Chains A and B, each alone.
Chain A
Amino acid sequence: MTTEHIVVVGGGMVAHRFTEALRARDTDGRYSVEVIAEEPRAPYDRVALTSYFSGKSPEDLQLGDPALWRDPLVTLHRDSRATAVDRDRRIVTVEGGREVSYDHLVLATGSYAWAPPTPGADLAGVFMYRTVDDVAALRGWVEERRAALGRPVRGAVIGGGLLGLEAAGALQNLGAVSTVIQFADRLMNLQVDEGGGEALKRLIEGMGVTVRCSTATKEIRAGKDGHVGSLLFADGGEQLVDVVVFATGVRPRDELGAAAGLELGARGGVVVDDTCLTADPAVSAIGEVACIQGACLGLIAPGNTMAEIAVDRLLGGTPTFPGADMAAKLKLLGVDVASFGDAFATTPGALEMVYADPVNGVYKKLVLTDDATTLLGGILVGDASAYASLRPMVGAALPGDPAAWILPEGSVEKGEIELPDDAGVCSCNNVSAGAIRGAVNDHDCHDLGAVKACTKAGTSCGSCLPLVKKIMSTELEKAGIEVSNALCEHFALSRAQLFNAIKVAEVTTFSEVIERFGTGRGCDICKPTVGSILASLYNEHVLGGDRAALQDTNDRVMANMQKDGTYSVVPRVPGGEILPEHLILIGQIAQDFGLYTKITGGQRIDLFGARLEQLPQIWKRLVDAGMESGHAYGKSLRTVKSCVGSTWCRYGVQDSVGMAIALELRYRGLRSPHKLKLGVSGCARECAEARGKDVGVIATDKGWNVYVGGNGGFTPVHAQLLVEDVPDEDVFRVIDRYLMYYIRTADRLQRTAPWQQEHEGGLDEIRRIVVDDSLGLGEELDAHMARHIDSYEDEWKAVLNDPVRLRQFTSFVNAPEEPDPTLAYVPQRGQRRPATSEERASGAVLIAPTTLEVRS
């Protein structure tokens, strides 16, 4: 079979979806794909463009797995613009004259930002809002003007639709004052009705953005310096501005198709049939450039659907476009807005059921059939939590009293929803309820991660995840698969439940805990968990009471067991700052005991190969010199990594080392569901890689940004912004609460990243709890952390002073000084390492464990 060549013109989200879906489904390699992208980067998440202003980098916006672009059947040309299509010869000409021939051409050129012809629109300081380069230029301009003017920058956004409000939020994030100028009589007039518009306006104004509706901009005038200076309105008003952003809609980029003689729609766009094919059977058009069923659609969901349809057709399927789902749920300036189905009640006889609460800024409307049973659509402003449940119900009967869905929680009981199999759940990836049930029942996906990986549901915007989880749990329940949170056979409770039970009952020993809340003797799963909870709650020595037997050997002997049964030793080096005396001491100890030394990823030094009975001697020397346990063995704070910061670095804006040391000393010894790693960077260059940590603190010129929930390891995740530009004391308070709340509510061995993701309401809800104190837990969490800090003692120092505990550190109860005779080492690069089985068998030259001297 010969490989046919597909050329995709355009490098946006829909082009990405097309390429990804084709490579995923064309398992026989029938097609090769060449993508001609105008922007200098691989396709990125344009929907999340605004997050660029809240600290995300262009790389964070990357779509999907970058390995797609290394697929041998995929070629991506960046910075490359198609200038002509010759349909007779099936050739695309690229800027510079290169010709690319195709068997099939896919137009995915998208849209451009359109601005009404306005005098002065070409002045410096007038921007569009479409690409990463647009927003980067806008950011550069605002920052430069702020520095030049020495006062907050005055910004105006022309256009009060979805994109306009995004842009206003972006200006606010940049510290500019912003005004939204809207030509229509209300904000987001395409999505919400008058009542919703009013609620939205009040909420947005509450955020400090000024809103002017029913206002036409006649002219943009230059200021004295020749830059943009003011806006002149049709009603004669004038407003001073330093920056203007046009967000007045988009138009399809159909010029390539038009020049190639393809039919265009009445309002532009390349006309395609329901399978995304143009009149030329060798040319498809998908996404915003396609005029399908008479309209160009400017949302990502129908664009992705078109990409899937085109792929399906190329692979021999017969799909057709189901009609656009123009439903949308957005968070603009922190305000929830959702609109779905027949939001404007255009269906004959449609009834509107409205709940409005101007005090709390909530507006909700359901559109129902004339018998008030079948849901047709709706608008939710201020609280869109019902969106995920309601949107898939469009066209179906709502069980119970429909008012329950819009009245405040609990005032009327909601009916139980059972979605039909064909109801769409994830509109970004076009996943139905049936597909999710199939994943659970036929593909053995028994947790959210597996369902996501199998169906792609919830992998784009994530707004449907609560619903996906609910459908999954219902199916598992039906199948008799218990969704068990039980820790192990000895405890039916989850870690979080057990934590609360122990706290309320104030029990302090494992025997009491298992007697009251469990059965049997415990095991290697529940014992360390209870040990960790007791340590978190009571701050007593990890080996105190009956606790030594609860701990894993690492915690029990306060060192990390290695593969041959010896241990590694890691003294704490707070913030990675170390005295020369301590470096020398560590080197001296390594020489004296013949230990293998390696620098760790957490900016400290690991000494390998120490035997159980050697640990107290080693630690005595470290403790005497003022060093202490680094807790490298514990489910607890490991390190706070830092860059060198403003004290030495030319670019640093804050003392990152000082902050890192303060944090490390504050949280050292804190027991938690899993290990904790922190990082502090002294400027936005982020040399400490803090966003790969559970908590990352990054200096700004106004204070610190705190990011949470980052993770390296098996599933790397970037930490997300929790608070911005805060002073030192707020950094401590907010991290105190975040960590304590995590310790109280996470599952066993659940790191912060999945905890945060699976927490109901995600990071936003966690922010409400730890920053805004919505549960009134703040003082308690603060007090708990204060107790931890006050009662901290170095575990190793305490053990060295306790002859009873020291007895544990013997090799054999009847030969306390005798080393384990089975240990054997071979030299490697001037140090020693454990001998392999082959080396032992072959009789290679082994170094006996008693031989400390390995230097030749």
Chain B
Amino acid sequence: MTAVPDTASSTATRVCALGDLTPELGVAALVEGVQVAIFLLADGSLHCVQNLDPFSGASVMSRGITGSRGDVPTIASPIYKQVFSLLDGACLVTMDKEPKEGLAPGLRVHAVAAEGDAVVVTLARD
């Protein structure tokens, strides 16, 4: 896969207005050519992870279902239903599957914050 370039930067990018987000419904965004998935949860917290689902190779994480395992907020892949932590990206439920060749089982977590009305994403560095 070449979809995720190694040119991660520390530049903050405004992706949308806070009002564009619906609680518990993810959106996808393109940040410097990288696809990310952004979630506003019901408790007001913002989370951002890679949009690429490591188990299917499709860019779909923004379209999964949010939830929790214990106290950890989670996102489930809409394709093969693996569950990932929104805090550190760890895969919590693998559904007895392996990730696609060359992909790590977890999700990369990117920094996201509300600055005034703007939702701002900073890609994580390698």
What is the CB-to-nearest-CB distance from B27 to chain A, in angstroms, rounded to a whole number?
4
What is the CB-to-nearest-CB distance from B49 to chain A, in angstroms, rounded to a whole number?
15
Contact A813 B16, CB 8 Å, known A548-B22, A556-B63, A561-B78: yes
Q: Mark A800-822, 1 if CB is under 8 A from B, else 0.
A: 00000001101111110010111
Judge whether B60 and A524 touch: CB under 8 Å. no
The reply to whether the CB of B112 lies closer than 8 angstroms to some CB of chain A is no
Inter-chain CA distance A522–B21, complex, in Å, is 20
Inter-chain CA distance A156–B35, complex, in Å, is 79
Judge whether B35 and A527 touch: CB under 8 Å. no
Contact A814 B58, CB 8 Å, known A523-B65, A553-B63: no
Contact A565 B22, CB 8 Å, known A549-B66, A552-B65: no
Judge whether A524 and B81 touch: CB under 8 Å. yes
Judge whether B76 and A813 touch: CB under 8 Å. no
Judge whether B42 and A820 touch: CB under 8 Å. no
Judge whether B3 and A821 touch: CB under 8 Å. yes
Inter-chain CA distance A526–B83, complex, in Å, is 14
Q: Mark B6-30, 1 if CB is under 8 A from A, else 0.
A: 0000000001100011111101111
The reply to whether the CB of A520 lies closer than 8 angstroms to some CB of chain B is yes
Judge whether B25 and A548 touch: CB under 8 Å. yes
The reply to whether the CB of B101 lies closer than 8 angstroms to some CB of chain A is yes
Which of A490, A523, A807, A818 has the most B CB atoms < 10 Å from its CB? A523
Inter-chain CA distance A557–B73, complex, in Å, is 23
Judge whether B30 and A565 touch: CB under 8 Å. no
What is the CB-to-nearest-CB distance from B124 to chain A, in angstroms, rounded to a whole number?
18
Interface bin, chain A? 35 or more
The reply to whether the CB of A347 lies closer than 8 angstroms to some CB of chain B is no
What is the CB-to-nearest-CB distance from B52 to chain A, in angstroms, rounded to a whole number?
8
Contact A561 B66, CB 8 Å, known A548-B22, A813-B29, A815-B30: no
The reply to whether the CB of A103 lies closer than 8 angstroms to some CB of chain B is no
What is the CB-to-nearest-CB distance from A60 to chain B, in angstroms, rounded to a whole number?
36
Q: Which residues of B contact A490 (CB under 8 A)?
A: 67-68
Q: Which of A516-569 contact B (CB under 8 A)?
A: 520-524, 526-528, 546, 548-554, 556-557, 561, 563-565
Inter-chain CA distance A808–B22, complex, in Å, is 10
The reply to whether the CB of B38 lies closer than 8 angstroms to some CB of chain A is yes
Judge whether A813 and B58 touch: CB under 8 Å. no
Inter-chain CA distance A503–B73, complex, in Å, is 29
Judge whether B76 and A524 touch: CB under 8 Å. yes
The reply to whether the CB of A839 lies closer than 8 angstroms to some CB of chain B is no
Decide if the interface of chain A is mainly helix, strand, loop or mixed. Answer: loop
Q: Which residues of B contact A807 (CB under 8 A)?
A: 20
What is the CB-to-nearest-CB distance from A806 to chain B, in angstroms, rounded to a whole number?
13
Inter-chain CA distance A548–B1, complex, in Å, is 32
Inter-chain CA distance A521–B64, complex, in Å, is 15
Judge whether B68 and A564 touch: CB under 8 Å. no
Inter-chain CA distance A253–B8, complex, in Å, is 86
Q: Which of B22, B41, B58, B67 contacts A524 (CB 8 A)?
A: B67
Which of A550, A553, A612 has the most B CB atoms < 10 Å from its CB? A553
The reply to whether the CB of A83 lies closer than 8 angstroms to some CB of chain B is no
Judge whether B79 and A523 touch: CB under 8 Å. no
Inter-chain CA distance A810–B74, complex, in Å, is 23
Judge whether B79 and A524 touch: CB under 8 Å. no
What is the CB-to-nearest-CB distance from B24 to chain A, in angstroms, rounded to a whole number?
4
Q: Mark A819-845, 1 if CB is under 8 A from B, else 0.
A: 011100000000000000100100000
Q: Which residues of A contact B21 (CB under 8 A)?
A: 813
What is the CB-to-nearest-CB distance from A26 to chain B, in angstroms, rounded to a whole number?
35
What is the CB-to-nearest-CB distance from B9 to chain A, in angstroms, rounded to a whole number?
16
Q: Which residues of B contact A818 (CB under 8 A)?
A: 30
The reply to whether the CB of B57 lies closer than 8 angstroms to some CB of chain A is yes
Q: Mark A446-480, 1 if CB is under 8 A from B, else 0.
A: 00000000000000000000000000000000000
Q: Which of B3, B38, B65 contacts A813 (CB 8 A)?
A: B38
Judge whether B3 and A822 touch: CB under 8 Å. yes
Judge whether A837 and B101 touch: CB under 8 Å. yes
Judge whether B83 and A822 touch: CB under 8 Å. no
Judge whether A812 and B68 touch: CB under 8 Å. no
Inter-chain CA distance A840–B3, complex, in Å, is 12
Inter-chain CA distance A822–B23, complex, in Å, is 27
Contact A814 B78, CB 8 Å, known A527-B65, A822-B59: no
A-B contact pairs, 20 of them (CB 8 A): A520-B68, A523-B69, A524-B65, A524-B67, A524-B81, A527-B65, A527-B67, A549-B24, A556-B25, A556-B63, A564-B58, A565-B53, A565-B60, A565-B63, A812-B29, A813-B20, A813-B21, A814-B29, A821-B33, A837-B57
With A563-B58, A812-B30, A837-B101 already in contact, 13 other A-B pairs whose C-beta atoms are closer than 8 Å: A489-B70, A524-B64, A524-B81, A549-B23, A549-B25, A551-B65, A552-B65, A563-B56, A564-B58, A810-B27, A812-B29, A815-B29, A822-B58
A-to-B contact residues, CB < 8 Å: 489-490, 511, 520-524, 526-528, 546, 548-554, 556-557, 561, 563-565, 612, 807-808, 810-815, 818, 820-822, 837, 840
The 5 residue pairs across chains A and B that have the minimum distance between CB atoms: A523-B67, A565-B58, A549-B24, A524-B76, A521-B68
